[in-house]
Structure 1
Amino acid sequence: MRIREGHLVDDAPNGSVRFRDRVLGYIGLTKPRVIELLLVTTIPAMLLAHRGTVDPVLIFNTLVGGLLAAAGANTLNCVADADIDKVMKRTERRALARATVPRSHALIFGLTLSVASFFWLWWTTNMLSAHLAGATIAFYVLVYTLLLKRRTSQNVVWGGAAGCMPVMIGWSAVTGTIQWPALVMFLIIFFWTPPHTWALAMRYKEDYKAAGVPMLPAVATEQQVTKQILIYTWLTVAATLALALATGWLYAAVAIVAGTWFLVMAHQLYAGVRRGEPVKPLRLFLQSNNYLAVVFLALAVDSALALPALFSV
C-alpha cells in the first residue's frame, strides 16, 4: 500500500480480497495527506493560545474532532467532484473515479463523519469549536466545491479559507474565544494556499482544462500566474512576521529565515518564466509544504517553552 497524488493505492497482487480495496477506497476519500497538513497547524495554535500549559487530553480531543471534520469535508468534496476526477489524470485513481466505493455510500460516509465531528467537539471542547467545524465543512462543500470551483479562476483564493479554520478551531478549543493571533494564523494559511495550489496546478493545467475547471494556470499565462504566486508569497511572509508580536524570539527568527527562503523560491520561479526559461513549479509546491511545516513547528516549540519575545507591542 502506498500514497500517490494524495490518495491511497493498493499495490497488492491480483486476487486480493475486495474488502481491502473497499476499505482503502474509503480511507482515500478522506485525503489523508491533506488531513495531515491541516492537523499540523492545529497543535501550534493551541499551544500559542495558552503558552506552555495546554492539557494534552484537550489537544487529543481537538485533533480527533478536526480529523473527523476534515475527513468528512474531503469525502463530500470527492462526491461532488466525482465526474471531474474521472477526467483528470491526477485524480483518476480515486475511489469514486474507479467506482471502488458507491457514490451513495460515500455521501453517507461523509455526512456521518461531518455530524460526528460536530458532536465530538461539542462534547469534548466547546460549542464555538463545534460550530466553527460545522461552518468549515459547509463552506468547503457548498461554497468552494459546488459554487466557486467550476466558476472562477479565484476559486482557491476564497475556497482556501476552509483550510485556515483548524487554527481557529484549535484556538477556540483552548480559550472559548477568537482573538487576533488566531486571525493572523488564519491569514498565514489563507495567503499561503494560492501559491501552494497554483504551483501544483501549473504542473497539471491540462488536466484542469480537460475537466473544464478554470483554475488560474489553466486560463492565464504563466507570467500572470507566477506574478500572483509572488504577490501571495509576500503576503504570507508578512503575516508570519506579524504573528511574531504574539510569540517568542525562536519563532520570530525562524519566520524571518524561512520567509526569506520562500520568497527567493517564488522570485526565482517568476524570473524564470519572464526570461522564457523552463521552470519547475512542482518544486515550489513541494517546498511550500516544508515552509509551512517549519514555521508552525517553530511556533509550537516557541509556545511550549514560552520563550521571551523578540518583538513586543
Structure 2
Amino acid sequence: MTALSARPTPAPTRRPGRVRTKVGAYVALTKPRIIELLLVTTVPAMMLAAEGWPSWRLLAATLVGGTLAAGAANVFNCYYDRDIDRLMHRTQRRPLPMGLVSPREALTFGIVLSVTSIALLAATTTLLAAALAAGAIFYYAVLYTVVAKRHTRRSTELGGVPGAAPVLIGWAAVTGSLDWPAVVFFAVVFCWQMPHFWALAMRFREDYARAGVPMLPVVAPALSVGRQTVVWTWVTVAVSLTLWPLSVEQGIAWIYTVSAAVLGAWFVLEAHKLLRRIARGENTRPMQLFHISISYLALLSVAIIVDVFI
C-alpha cells in the first residue's frame, strides 16, 4: 500500500488539444473557404493554357503555391483588421480577436507563407507566375486592406484585382506569358466579385457600419446598390460570352457557350429579383444571390474544363 501510494500520479496533459487548437487557429487565419473559391478558377485557366490537362506535377505545384499565396494575403488582412474584427459579429471569433494567435505570430506566419509561396512558384512553375503571386499578395495586403477598405466605397472594385489573380497565375504557370483568353477569364472573375460581395455586405450591413467600413451597401441607398449589382451581373455575363470566340484554339466550343448563356441567365434573373425586392421594400434576402453567385462561378469553371476535355 505504501509503495502504491508513493507512486506519483501522472498530471493530466492538454498539450495535444492545445496544439490542435493552435494549428486550427493558424489555418483559420488563411480563410480556407475563400481560398477554395479562388482556386476554382485556377484549374480551368491552366487547362485553357495547356489546351488540355497540364502535368500533375505542374498542377500540384501551382495549386499549392497559389494556396499559400492566397493564405498569406488573408493572414495579413486578418492582422491589420484585428481591431475592427472585434466589432463585427461575423468576424469577432477569428483567431486574433479571440486571442488564439498573437499579432506578432500572425505577422510572422504571413511573411513565411509569402516567401514560401513565391519561392515554390518560381522554382516549380515560371517566374511570371511567381511575380503575379507576389503582386497579388502586396495588392490585397496593402492597396486593398490598408489603403482602400476603410477609406472608399469603391473598395470592392479595387479589391477585385487580387481576387481574380489566380486566373493569371494559373495561365502564366503553364505558358510563362499571358494571352487574351486569360485576360477575358480574369475580367469575368473580376466583374463577378461585385454582385457576389455586395450581396454579402447587404446581409452584414450593420456589422460593416459598426466597424466604420464604408462598403457600398453601408453608404449608398439600397436601391442604388441593387441597380449597380444588376449592372455588374450583366457585365459579368456579357464578358463570359466573349471567352468563346477568343478561346477556340484552346478548345472552347458549344458546351461552354451554352453553359455560359444558361448560367448567366440564372445569375441575371436572381440579381433582378433582388432589385425588385429592394424596390418593393420586401425582405431582400441578399444571401440568395450570394450563394447563387458561388454556384455560377463554380459551374462556369466546370464548363470550361469539360469543353477543353471534349
- RMSD between aligned residues: 1.3
The answer for the alignment partner of 2:102 in structure 1 is 102
Equivalent residues in 2 for 1:54-93, closer than 5 Å: 54-93=54-93
Alignment pair present for 1:282 and 2:287: yes
For structure 1, the 5+ residue unaligned runs are 1-13, 306-313
Q: How many residues align?
A: 292
Q: What's 2:9 paired with?
A: none
Aligned-partner Cα distance in 1 for 2:15–2:119: 40
| Distance of aligned partners of 1:16 and 1:87 in 2 relative to their CA distance in 1, 3 Å threshold | farther
Letter in 2 for 1:218: V
Aligned equivalent of 1:7: none
- Structure 2 unaligned runs (5+)? 1-13
Q: Which amino acid aligns with 2:281?
A: G
**What amino acid is aligned across from residue 156 of structure 1 in structure 2?**
T
Give the corresponding residue for 2:146: 146
Show the counterpart of 1:3: none
Residue type matched to 1:84 in 2? I
After TM superposition, the structure 1 = structure 2 runs for residues 217-296 of structure 1, keeping only pairs within 5 Å, are 217-245=217-245, 246=247, 247-296=252-301
The residue that corresponds to 1:11 in the other structure is none
Quick one: distance in 1 between partners of 2:198 and 2:16?
38
Q: Give the structure-1-normalised TM-score.
A: 0.91
SS at match of 2:232: helix
Identity between Structure 1 and Structure 2 (%): 48
Question: Amino acid of the residue matched to residue 277 of structure 2?
Answer: G
The equivalent residue for 2:21 is: 21
Over residues 144-176 of structure 1, what are the superposed CA-to-partner deviations in whole Å (9 max), with x where a residue is unaligned?
000000000110111111010000000011111
Change (3 A) 1:63 1:271: same
> What does residue range 155-174 of structure 1 map to in structure 2 within 5 Å?
155-174=155-174
Q: Distance in 1 between matches of 2:192 and 2:259?
A: 17
Quote the residue 1:37 is aligned against.
37
CA distance in 2, matches of 1:41, 1:167: 6
Post-superposition offset of 1:16: 8.0
TM-score normalised over the length of structure 2: 0.92
Q: Corresponding residue for 2:211?
A: 211
Q: Structure 1 residue 279: deviation in Å?
A: 1.6
Q: Is 1:192 aligned to residue 192 of structure 2?
A: yes
CA shift, 1:19, in A, is 2.0
Q: What is the CA–CA distance in structure 1 between the aligned matches of 2:104 and 2:192, rounded to whole Å?
A: 34
Amino acid paired to 2:273: Q
Correspondence for 1:126:
126
Q: What is the Cα deviation at residue 53 of structure 1? A: 4.3
Decide which moves more: 90-99 or 53-62: 53-62
Counterpart of 2:165, as a letter, is M
Distance in 1 (CA, whole Å) between partners of 2:306 and 2:89 is 40
How many angstroms apart in 2 are the aligned matches of 1:290 and 1:61?
A: 26
| Residues 15 and 104 of structure 1, relative CA distance in 2, 3 Å threshold | closer
Q: Compute the displacement of 1:18 (Å).
A: 2.1
